[in-house]
């Protein structure tokens, strides 16, 4: 693949950016030079020094009930490589995403494990940005909506569009975490609306004002989403909250 170098070590394979291949491979395969930046949820986020700043490594871990059975393994499914290809496609199409540094995977029988590395960008998550009460936040929210529209116009459907997977920096917003994202030719208005409603649900779940969603919609180029679909998502959210024991905000 142009711009990337393949390194194989036993059962493990790494595909890393050519201009810093050894350092990225050591971090991905051996955790060399890594520090834990965030622990919890579905795994650790690791940070390491690389050319041009720092890289971030996200190791794949399961959520839901399956995390108790396989934890970090997938059966005959190379999730890291799949995300790498889609992220690289988005990057080369000009979408605002952190530059890819590399990916690695290990195969043991039917099971695959792995990690993906991207360049660290100077930005806050959308949740952190809003909570910091930064002036002109509405402009940033409109820019987020515009970026989501660009992503959809590229036929990319993000599987986890939420307030922690949108970053906001001085240069504008970024979208991260394309695990389970897919290319859907001629992305329909219904699929676009469902993606946006997932983001609205994330705003509500994290205790942020739902009014933040309006400027995002304006940046996207719509005034409102179909009321019937909004009602379905609201009911779905209440059911999810009841099952999990979480208070609906």
**d(Cα 55, Cα 203) in Å, to the nearest integer?**
28
Q: What is the dihedral of CA 235, 237, 240, 241, to 10 degrees?
A: -110
DSSP H or E stretch at residue 149: helix 137-153
At 66 the three-state DSSP class reads helix
- CB neighbour list of residue 67: distance below 8 Å, 6 or more residues apart: 42, 61
Closest CA to 45 of 125, 143, 104, 118: 118
Among the listed residues 30, 160, 179, 241, the single catalytic one is: 160
Is beta strand 172-175 parallel, antiparallel or unpaired with respect to 124-125?
unpaired
CA distances from 173 to 84, 103, 104, 142, 146 (A): 20, 23, 27, 10, 9
DSSP bridge partners of 107: 112
The answer to whether 101 and 118 are in contact (CB under 8 A) is: yes
Closest CA to 215 of 151, 146, 156: 146
**Can 133 be counted among the known catalytic residues?**
no
DSSP letter, residue 2: T
> Which residues are known to be catalytic?
160
């Amino acid at each position: 693949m142009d711009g990337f170098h393949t390194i194989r070590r036993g059962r493990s394979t790494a595909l890393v950016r050519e201009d810093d291949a050894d350092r990225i491979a050591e971090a991905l395969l051996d955790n060399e030079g890594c520090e834990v930046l965030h622990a919890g949820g579905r795994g650790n986020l690791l940070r390491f020094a690389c050319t041009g700043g720092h890289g971030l490594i996200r190791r794949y871990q399961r959520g839901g009930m399956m995390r108790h059975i396989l934890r970090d393994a997938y059966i005959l499914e190379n999730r890291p490589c799949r995300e790498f290809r889609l992220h690289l496609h988005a990057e080369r199409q000009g979408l605002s995403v952190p530059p890819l540094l590399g990916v690695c995977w290990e195969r043991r029988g039917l099971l695959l494990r792995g990690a993906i590395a991207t360049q660290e960008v100077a930005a806050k998550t959308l949740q952190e940005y809003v909570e910091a009460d930064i002036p002109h936040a509405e402009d940033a929210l409109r820019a987020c909506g515009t970026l989501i529209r660009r992503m959809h116009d590229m036929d990319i459907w993000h599987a986890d569009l939420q307030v922690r997977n949108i970053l906001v920096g001085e240069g504008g917003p970024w979208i991260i975490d394309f695990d389970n994202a897919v290319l859907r030719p001629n992305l329909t208005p219904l699929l676009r609306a469902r993606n946006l409603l997932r983001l609205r649900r994330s705003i509500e779940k994290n205790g942020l004002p739902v009014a933040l969603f309006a400027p995002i919609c304006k940046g996207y180029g719509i005034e409102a989403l179909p009321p019937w679909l909004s009602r379905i998502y609201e009911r779905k959210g209440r059911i999810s909250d009841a099952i999990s024991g979480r208070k609906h905000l």
